[in-house]
Amino acid sequence: MVDPTPTVAMVGLIDDEKQITTQWFKNKGDAIILVGLGAGVADPDSSSAAAANDPGYNLGGSRFLKVCYGKKIGPVPKLDLKLETAVQNGVRDLIRLGLVRSVHDCSEGGLAVAMVECCFNLDRLLGAEIDLENCGGSHAGDAPASTNVATVLFNETQSRIIISCDPKNTELVLSELRSKNIPHAQIGSVIADDLRITVNGENLGWPVAELHDLWWNAIRRSVESDSEPIPSL
């Protein structure tokens, strides 16, 4: 069953096709940066600092609770419209400057699911080495020590975007974000084959090929598991 869902359809005009930026990682060695809520800020006294370091971690309304526990409960993470606007505009500016190779929002399934989807390049599967423990003095997806791993990985906190860039452009990207006081943290790099995440003292890892199989064949498996043999006449 699909829950009632407000839907907005939008069409935009892109003047330069070179600015079309897809969600999947492009090259091994590319830097991965988390932009948005909970990712730290350049200026701790800036107006966005409090929001950046208070990601409001909870699993309310999340896909994780629905799938794993069959629960639809809240409260859902709050949306800061000013921060959302700053994050969106900042990432669009990076695209216009030609500084990023991939862009993917964190939404249904949270940071972990978005990261998995980034690994599914149409041409080939790529992996990622992600460290959510400490990034330059600020935590990417900064949760209190008491927050469990599932909450860090699968909460659906708003205003977060995963971007990747040529390592040669990393400092330029970080400088652009700092100049706008947009929360950000470099959290890892693109690798081959596996998705590895370090969080709350735990080292997690999965072969990307297996993750892709689960994703690509999800509908078929769901239909097969729910179907019953047709009785003979």
Distance CA 91, CA 106 (A): 14
- The DSSP secondary-structure symbol of 6 reads -
Pairing of strands 127-131, 194-199: parallel
| Domain CATH for 205 | 3.90.650.10
CA neighbours closer than 13 Å in the CB half-sphere of residue 79:
6
Nearest to 163 by CA among 104, 84, 110: 104
The residue written with tokens 């800061």 in the block is: 80
Q: 37: Cβ–Cβ under 8 A, 6 or more apart, which residues? A: 51, 52, 55, 56, 80, 83, 87, 157, 158, 159, 160, 183
Residue 63 lies in a domain: yes
Distance CA 227, CA 198 (A): 39
What is the span of the domain harbouring residue 182? 22-218
Residue 211 lies in a domain: yes
Residue 14 lies in a domain: no
Residue 163 lies in a domain: yes
Nearest to 38 by CA among 145, 177, 142, 162: 142
Residue 107 lies in a domain: yes
Tokens of 175: 């400088």
Residue 69 lies in a domain: yes
What pLDDT tens digit does each residue of the chain (233 aa) get?
667 888 999 998 888 998 999 999 999 999 999 999 765 443 434 444 444 444 456 788 899 999 999 998 888 888 899 999 999 999 999 999 999 999 999 999 999 999 999 999 988 999 999 998 854 333 334 444 446 888 889 999 889 999 999 999 999 999 999 999 999 999 999 999 999 999 988 999 999 999 999 999 988 888 887 665 544 43
Question: 0.75 exceeded by the pTM?
Answer: yes
pLDDT at 224: 83
pLDDT at 57: 66
Residue 231 lies in a domain: no
Residue 124 lies in a domain: yes
Q: How many domains does the chain have?
A: 1
- The DSSP secondary-structure symbol of 215 reads H
Q: 99: Cβ–Cβ under 8 A, 6 or more apart, which residues? A: 165, 169, 172, 173, 176
